[in-house]
Amino acid sequence: MTDSQETLLQKIQEQGDLVRKLKAAKESSEKVKTVQSFYGNLEEINKHLSQFSYLSGHMPSKVDIETHNKLDCNVHFQNYPHLKRWWYHMRSFSDSERSLFPESYHLNCMVKNYNANNKSVDQQIKEEVSKLLALKAQLGSEDAAPQKFVLKTAKGTRDYNPQQMTIRNNVLQKIITVFKRHGAECIDTPVFELKEVLTGKYGEDSKLIYDLKDQGGEILSLRYDLTVPLARYLAMNKINTLKRYHIAKVYRRDNPAMTRGRYREFYQCDFDIAGQYDLMVPDAECLKVVTEILDALDIGKYVLKVNHRRLLDGMFEACGVSADMFRSTCSTIDKLDKSTWDEVRTEMINEKGVTPDAADRIGEYVRLNGSIELADKLLQDEKLSKSKGAVEGLEGIKLLLNYCELLGIKDKILFDLSLARGLDYYTGVIYEAVLTQPIKIGNEDQTIGSIAGGGRYDNLVGMFDSKNKQVPCVGVSIGVERVFSVLEAKLAAGDISVRTSDVDVYVASAQKNFLDERMKICAELWNAGIKTEQSYKKNPKMLNQLQHCEENGIPLAVILGESELKRGLVKIRNISTRQEEEVPRENLVQELKSKIELLDIKEMNGPLAK
């Protein structure tokens, strides 16, 4: 889709919204008009009142009293239950209470509005609709007939076509292999949660949560990540230990940057270890998992930055920031990967209320990064060594780096004081994997930056427990969408190719009227577990059949011919070498199986191997 088309679609969307709003406004006015006209009709009043319960927020007004007084009290109420309810409710008010009722309720006002403005609303709707049609006509200018509506997926989302799904499934399979290698179990949770479950977990980002419409029943929201649902799951089921992975789509009403692999609907691949264990042991395994995954995906050199929330808080404390400003100062630090220190410093001072002195002291620290020696040096730092939190964080980092050395991943880890992570719920170690080199796609270099991240969150599960019982957790989330984007770009640039189906055998015929025979053979091959296809046409052309094999990478074709079948034979054709071989019909399955096995071995050792 071209850029200008996208702008046009945006305009159409906006114009559509406007028309919808106008129509809704008109409709609601019209409903009101009906209200006005039915005061003489008991059936209608009963029906109207069925929708208004005065117990749940609707206030009686003088209009109610008036109507009440007009009604014949000998009405056969049994036929009008809602009217009866209302009538007795009205009767229950004393005269002094009635005198306090407002003149009318808002519906009435809208009636007046409607009468005065209805004409102009109609006119306005007409005008705006014609603007909308003009925009749509612009879009489909080559097509005279107006489109029913603009055919698209929701903003920030996309379909995955077979090529993309193949890439996706390959990537996910590699990741799952690593998760399972570490003994992780798999769980899944619903795509929506009670809104309350998500409330108060994401800080400023809560505004990006998708809510479901209140259709009568529970108030629901789409999940924003997989971490909060995990915490809810642990608390709800009173689970104290779990090592699980969870691969699923999450939803954020962010401004999508789809070309860079940022969507409103996107996959997360999470690995988390829950349980009360010894310091940094599960945390170190999470880092090991990240390195195994990034190595398996083979998308370039990376560094795993680590830091500690206790150290960050201790550092803020040491620099003279007050405790209630730790989280907001932290979220400013988080922007250091995209902004310069000067920009961050300005935001800290102007928006977060940090003093210039404190900001400068913070600036001294956040430019530091290194290894275990840096941790040692900072433990001697005059200011930091006085902060209990900072010392705890530094000791933690030292232990973590020590374990990383034992796990053989020390050279991939960087202790970086500028790493902050956006989310509120982290309490201990935090980390982020960043690709250090741009990725070559076609002739262009593309930078993708952060590709995995996570940390320790020891208090999240307790937020769901009635007794605030904690289950300490640490985990990591792999940013697979960025991996997908890179591989899709490579595919588009011709750097890689994928096969979207695994069919091994195509059953073809050179002559007409072989559909019955083809069907019998297909069934035989399917029953033998051989991946097989045939044409859905009665009499397909030979050329088309062979072309289908070539286009879809199908290596073998069974070719039926009258003369061979008479002799009890069928031909097997190797599509790439074009060699053909006659085999006895009754040996067909066995012959194909050995040929497929040979091809599989060749592929495993051949240049296509990966």
Taking the least distance from each CB to a second copy, the nearer of 140 and 353 is: 140
Continuous H helices in 407-534:
480-492, 515-527
Q: 23 to 52, contacts with a second copy by CB under 8 A?
A: 24-25
Say whether residue 211 binds a second copy (CB under 8 A).
Answer: yes
CB of 317 to a second copy, least distance (A): 30
CB of 110 to a second copy, least distance (A): 6
How many whole angstroms separate alpha carbon 144 and alpha carbon 160? 31
Q: Which is nearer to a second copy, 244 or 573 (CB)?
A: 244
- Identify the bridge partners of residue 186 per DSSP, sorted by sequence position: 245
Given 232, 482, 490, 573, the residue binding a second copy (CB under 8 A): 232
Interface residue with a second copy, options 108, 170, 446, 470 (CB under 8 A): 108
**How many Å apart are CA 110 and CA 113, to the nearest integer?**
5
Residues 64-83 that bind a second copy (CB under 8 A): none
Query: In the 8-state DSSP scheme, what is residue 247?
Result: E
- Find the shortest distance in angstroms from Cβ 374 to a second copy: 22
- Interface with a second copy includes 346 (CB under 8 A)? no
- How many alpha carbons fall within 13 Å on the CB side of residue 439? 27
Interatomic CA distance for residues 221 and 189, integer angstroms: 13
Q: Which two tokens stand for residue 581?
A: 């071989």
Binding to a second copy (CB under 8 A) within 436-495 occurs at 464, 466-467
CB-nearer residue toward a second copy: 25 or 583 = 25
Is 168 or 398 the residue whose CB approaches a second copy more closely?
A: 168
Q: Residue 397 in contact with residue 455, Cβ under 8 Å?
A: no
The C-alpha atoms of residue 421 and residue 378 are separated, in whole angstroms, by: 21
Residue 484: partners with Cβ closer than 8 Å, 6 or more residues away: 164, 167, 168, 171, 261, 267
Residue pair 159/153 in contact by the 8 Å Cβ criterion: yes
DSSP letters along 365-389, please?
A: HHT-EESHHHHHHHHT-TTGGG-HH
Check binding of 213 to a second copy (CB under 8 A).
Answer: yes
Closest by CA to 334, choosing from 416, 272, 269, is 416
* CB 286, CB 476: distance < 8 Å: yes
Q: How far is the CB of 409 from a second copy (least distance, A)?
A: 8
496 binds a second copy (CB under 8 A): no
Does position 169 bind a second copy by CB under 8 A? yes
Q: Cα(294)–Cα(596) distance, rounded to whole angstroms?
A: 32
41 or 276: whose CB is closer to a second copy?
276
Of the candidate spans 16-24, 324-332, 365-373, 556-564, the one that interacts with a second copy by CB under 8 A turns out to be 16-24
SS3 517: helix
502-541: contacts with a second copy (CB under 8 A): 502-503, 515-516, 519-520, 522-523, 526-527, 529-533, 536-538
CB neighbours of 604 closer than 8 A, spacing ≥ 6? none
Site string for a second copy, 116-155 (x = CB under 8 A): xx---x------------------x--x-xxxxx-xxxxx
Structure tokens, 501:
């189906």
CA distance 535 to 515: 9
Give the footprint of a second copy on residues 252-281 (CB under 8 A): 253, 265, 273, 275, 277-278, 281
Choosing from 129, 407, 575, 589, the residue that interacts with a second copy (CB under 8 A) is 407
**Interhelix angle 162-181/480-492, nearest 10 degrees:** 140
Which residues in the 283-302 window bind a second copy by CB under 8 A? 284-285, 288, 292
Taking the C-alpha atoms of 97, 102, 103 and 105 in order, what is their torsion angle to the nearest 10 degrees? -120
- Could you tell me which stretch among 82-90, 331-339, 378-386, 400-408 binds a second copy (CB under 8 A)? 400-408
| Greatest alpha-carbon span in the chain | 107
Q: Closest separation between CB of residue 319 and a second copy, Å?
A: 34
**Smaller CB separation from a second copy, 293 or 439:** 293
Nearer residue to a second copy within complex by CB, 15 or 418:
15
Which residue do the tokens 């705006």 mark?
128
Residue 72 is encoded by which pair of tokens? 């014949």
Per CB under 8 A, contacts with a second copy among 538-567 are 538, 552
* Residue choice 94, 96, 237, 443 for contact with a second copy (CB under 8 A): 237
Cα(296)–Cα(302) distance, rounded to whole angstroms?
Answer: 13
- Please give the single-letter amino acid code of residue 189: T
Stretch of 80-88, 205-213, 388-396, 571-579 lying at the interface with a second copy (CB under 8 A): 205-213
Q: Footprint of a second copy on residues 171-200 (CB under 8 A)?
A: 180-194, 196-197
Distance of alpha carbon 422 from alpha carbon 416, whole angstroms = 15
By CB under 8 A, name the one of 131, 249, 352, 585 that touches a second copy.
249
- Total binding residues toward a second copy, as defined by CB under 8 A: 128
Q: Using the rule CB under 8 A, give the single segment among 103-111, 365-373, 417-425, 445-453 that binds a second copy.
A: 103-111
Q: How far is the CB of 121 from a second copy (least distance, A)?
A: 8
Would you count residue 102 as binding a second copy (CB under 8 A)? Answer: yes
